[in-house]
């Protein structure tokens, strides 16, 4: 048993007795407790963030970059510790957890380029003896609220860039797996970050409401489910905050009759069942075009039923448990509704039993055929290892299906035809699009974000979008006249 406290001004602190259990999803047992931040903790976090930001914003970008470089090295040295914390509290396999830490690390790597990334534009002689240039300045105190499914990577989409830009950052991680963010905060201090620049506060709705209601916080970055994203977006905007709120998803993968079927099947298996389907970029709908459907379904089902479902400590595990018993019950409800709505259940993961882990929240790979628009399993995000196959006659029907869905996070196509690929990437109303890749997650130096109900706000995360989000643009117009003569002007100056 261990406990996890808030990390404020470089120290582990808790002024409250309110806490929640940390559960190991593989065993269903309580392994720790997380202390929630109360009013006093939050006030201390705000005060230290404000004080630290005043001096941090004056540290030169090059010096900030050096601290980020050290932080990157420390993450590399501690990758095993960080990944184990992710696997223990989330349940995903250790290799998958390591991959997620590395994808977060790549954002730190990107942020080390901050002296270059902050460069503005310069125009000499915009008027007689007048020059003009733009600079990007920090916002002040920024905040992030993150989901359970990527306890290392999603926070790292946010705080390294915000801090590199000269802001301070208050992180509110998921209360289900809070340990990793504390380890990251400790490593950042070890790298030389002044205390208070990065604070971590724990809790659920009440601390989130404090963050979005605070007049001292300039921006909120959120990643989580769509209903909460909408709430964060509207409430933060009411309090004059800049906000980016990324929500849920329902990602479609189209397989054309001319696709390489082996590659498509392997892509689908990993993308649908990896991390037990608890990824916002998981493939949850396969759209089989024309006569490829039967062969595709047979191949996917054969592979899926042989997946090794096991706890993360088993190195041969390919898929771990769901996050909680409540979430497992929700996914099982979806499966029942799929059966009731007339979809054909071809693989049923509900009765899986893992010896020694009978109380873990495991659910085996589940596949539905003949899924149609309007069914609950088609319209909603399930966030579990449940794959739906929809049969369509042609490419146009596939695109129409994707474009009419309320979510717009990711979508991919498998095809050997360049024209089809081009039509797809140009015309689908989706934020992140793949061709012959199952999960088109942008690298750190590009930006991550969906469309429609998958993102509220104007900016995606990381890459240049991250730099724009965490800075205010200032444009300077400067005149150095040679002589002393001046006179008032009453009309708009023109050239
Ligand atoms: P969630 O929305 O339940 O929680 C996200 C965060 O919001 C947590 O920190 C939680 O404590 C807080 N929260 C929960 N309910 C709240 C409320 N009523 N008011 C204020 N704050 C609240 O999401 P989750 O279950 O942790 O994560 C899974 C969801 O996240 C899925 O929908 C998934 O698609 C989404 N997700 C999206 C992306 C993306 O980039 N679009 C990435 C990862 C996860």
List the residue whose alpha carbon is closest to atom 16 of ligand 1.
Answer: 205
List the residue whose alpha carbon is closest to atom 32 of ligand 1.
Answer: 225
Q: Looking at the predicted structure, is the pLDDT value of residue 437 above 90?
A: yes
Give me the CATH code for the 251-435 domain, please.
Answer: 3.40.309.10
Contact of 465 with 459, CB cutoff 8 Å = yes
Ligand 1 atom closest to the CA of 409, numbered from 1 = 41
Mutate which of 20, 147, 180, 448 for ligand 1 pocket (most atoms within 8 A of beta carbon): 147
Give mean pLDDT, residues 320-338.
98
List the residue whose alpha carbon is closest to atom 36 of ligand 1.
Answer: 224
What pLDDT does residue 483 have? 86
**Is residue 384 in contact with ligand 1, taking CB distance under 6 Å?**
no
What is the domain class of 2-247+454-476 according to CATH? alpha beta
Question: How confident is residue 46, by pLDDT bands cut at 50, 70 and 90?
Answer: very high
Using CA atoms, how far residue 26 sits from 21, 86, 126, 314, 332, in Å, is: 15, 12, 64, 11, 17
**What is the CB neighbour count within 10 angstroms for residue 116?**
9
Ligand 1 atom closest to the CA of 249, numbered from 1 = 34
Question: How confident is residue 472, by pLDDT bands cut at 50, 70 and 90?
Answer: very high
| CA-wise closest residue to 428 among 407, 453, 400 | 400
Question: How confident is residue 494, by pLDDT bands cut at 50, 70 and 90?
Answer: confident
What is the pTM for the complete model shown?
0.97
The per-residue pLDDT of the chain, averaged, comes to: 97
**Is residue 408 in contact with ligand 1, taking CB distance under 6 Å?**
no
Give CA–CA dist 269/267, Å, rounded: 6
β-bridge pairing 168-172 and 242-246: unpaired
Q: Domain ranges for the chain, please list them.
A: 2-247+454-476, 251-435
Give CA–CA dist 430/408, Å, rounded: 4
Ligand 1 atom closest to the CA of 225, numbered from 1 = 32
Helix (H, G, I), strand (E, B) or coil at 392: strand
What pLDDT does residue 346 have? 98
Q: Looking at the predicted structure, is the pLDDT value of residue 487 above 90?
A: no
Give CA–CA dist 456/304, Å, rounded: 34
Is 165 catalytic? The answer is no
CA of 226 to the centre of ligand 1 (A): 8
């Amino acid at each position: 048993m261990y406990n996890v406290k808030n990390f404020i001004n470089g120290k582990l602190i808790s002024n409250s007795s309110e806490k929640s259990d940390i559960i190991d999803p593989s065993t269903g047992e309580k392994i720790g407790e997380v202390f929630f931040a109360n009013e006093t903790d939050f006030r201390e976090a705000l005060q230290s963030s404000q004080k630290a930001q005043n001096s941090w914003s004056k540290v030169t970008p090059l010096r900030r970059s050096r601290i980020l470089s050290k932080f990157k090295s420390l993450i590399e040295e501690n990758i095993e510790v960080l990944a184990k914390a992710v696997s223990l509290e989330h349940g995903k396999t250790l290799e998958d957890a390591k991959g997620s830490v590395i994808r977060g690390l790549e954002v730190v790597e990107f942020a080390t380029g901050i002296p270059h990334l902050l460069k503005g534009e310069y125009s000499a002689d915009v008027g007689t003896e007048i020059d003009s240039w733009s600079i990007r300045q920090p916002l002040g105190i920024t905040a992030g609220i993150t989901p359970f499914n990527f306890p290392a990577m999603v926070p790292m989409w946010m705080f390294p860039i915000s801090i590199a830009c000269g802001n301070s950052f208050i992180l509110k991680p998921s209360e289900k797996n809070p340990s990793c963010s504390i380890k990251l905060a400790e490593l950042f201090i070890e790298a030389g970050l002044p205390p208070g620049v990065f604070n971590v506060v724990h809790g659920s709705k009440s601390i989130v409401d404090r963050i979005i209601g605070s007049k001292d916080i300039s921006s909120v970055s959120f990643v989580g489910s769509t209903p909460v994203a909408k709430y964060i977006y509207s409430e933060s905007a009411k309090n004059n905050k800049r906000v980016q709120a990324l929500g849920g998803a329902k990602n479609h993968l189209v397989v054309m009759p001319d696709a390489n079927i082996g590659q498509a099947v392997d892509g689908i298996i990993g993308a649908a069942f990896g991390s037990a389907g608890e990824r916002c970029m998981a493939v949850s709908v396969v759209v089989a075009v024309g006569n490829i459907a039967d062969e595709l379904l047979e191949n996917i089902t054969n592979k899926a039923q042989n997946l090794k479902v096991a706890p993360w400590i088993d190195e041969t595990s390919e898929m771990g448990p769901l996050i909680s018993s409540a979430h497992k019950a929700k996914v099982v409800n979806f499966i029942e509704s799929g059966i009731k709505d007339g979809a054909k259940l071809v693989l049923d993961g509900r009765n899986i039993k893992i010896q020694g882990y009978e109380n873990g929240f495991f659910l085996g790979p589940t596949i539905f055929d003949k899924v149609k628009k309007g069914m609950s399993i088609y319209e909603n995000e399930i966030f579990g290892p449940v794959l739906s196959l929809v049969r369509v006659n042609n490419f146009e029907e596939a695109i129409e299906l994707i474009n009419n869905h309320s979510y717009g996070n990711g979508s991919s196509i498998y095809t050997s035809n360049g024209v089809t690929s081009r039509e797809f990437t140009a015309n689908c109303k989706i934020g992140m699009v793949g061709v012959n890749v199952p999960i088109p997650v942008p690298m750190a130096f590009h930006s991550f974000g969906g469309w429609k109900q998958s993102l509220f706000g104007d900016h995606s995360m990381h890459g240049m979008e991250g730099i724009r989000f965490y800075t205010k643009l200032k444009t300077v117009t400067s005149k150095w006249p040679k002589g002393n003569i001046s006179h008032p002007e009453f009309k708009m100056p023109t050239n």
